[in-house]
Amino acid sequence: MQDLIGTGVALVTPFNAQGAIDHEALSRIVNHQVDNGVDYLVVLGTTGESVTLSKEEKQEVIKTIKKANDGRLPLVIGVGGNDTAVVVNELKTANLEGFVAVLSVSPAYNKPTQEGIFQHFKAVSEASPLPVILYNVPGRTGSNMAVETVVRLSQFDNVVAIKEAAGDLVQAMNMIQYTPKDFLVISGDDMIANAMTLAGGAGVISVIGQAMAQDFSDMIRYSLNGDVGESYELHYKIAASIDMIFEQGNPCGIKALLHHLGLCDDSVRLPLVKVDEDLSSRLKSFLDQYEN
């Protein structure tokens, strides 16, 4: 899965002040990624506020992204949930044409055991017509995918990668060490993405990369090539913004930064709210200094 090596970006879903999807802004954001070195795009992930989009809106988002992308970058689609039967049915019935892989998050709220997580993804693997990227994000799901569980799942032919977002570099390194050589361990944590990649990871599915697309994707390219000094120079240039965009939740922070870049409005859907004026001002100050 060479398409999944490098920098993937989890796209936001821009809204206007009335809360409707801003398709023009979404097209601008797609073009910003393509023009600034990003390697692939992730559609309808958590950052895209997929949980507050209707089925019809999700189809509209997919249509807009495909049209704007025009086949230039590989596309990954998020298909996950906490009801295995529903996820399986979606994978069997959805039109997945134009996508190279499915990103599927570990079940949230139920807090299954490791065996439950394994059986869930076994069913996902059997149902999916596309390669599957596992997604471990304990901060959202309430349960961690153990290294041993990931190793077991990596034995399925179409389970090709994991987006590892536990924020635990040792756990990520163990996944890299004990899974097959062709299994991709992709960082889902922007702050340790460089370190994970230098340790043998396959890159990142990023949030901050959506705004700092050129430098962040260059950073990952440097780390994939083993250019440690160059990669960390860019990491430290960007690092402060990573902390800030997650300070008041995702995608609230990244939308504020994208707003300051003139790419979209900073509106989000309840229960999320815009970042406060203080954080917005600090993000603007960071951007002003970054660009000078």
* Residues labelled as active-site residues: 135, 163
Strands 101-105 and 75-78: parallel
Q: Answer for the pair 253, 244: CB distance below 8 angstroms, yes or no.
A: yes
Residue 162, class by beta-carbon neighbours within 10 Å (0-12 exposed, 13-18 middle, 19+ buried)? Answer: buried
- In the structure encoding, which two tokens stand for residue 23, read together? 């398709």
E strand or H helix at 187, and its extent?
Answer: strand 184-187
Burial class (CB in 10 A: 0-12, 13-18, 19+), 115: exposed
Closest Cα partner for 265 from 45, 12, 11, 8?
A: 12
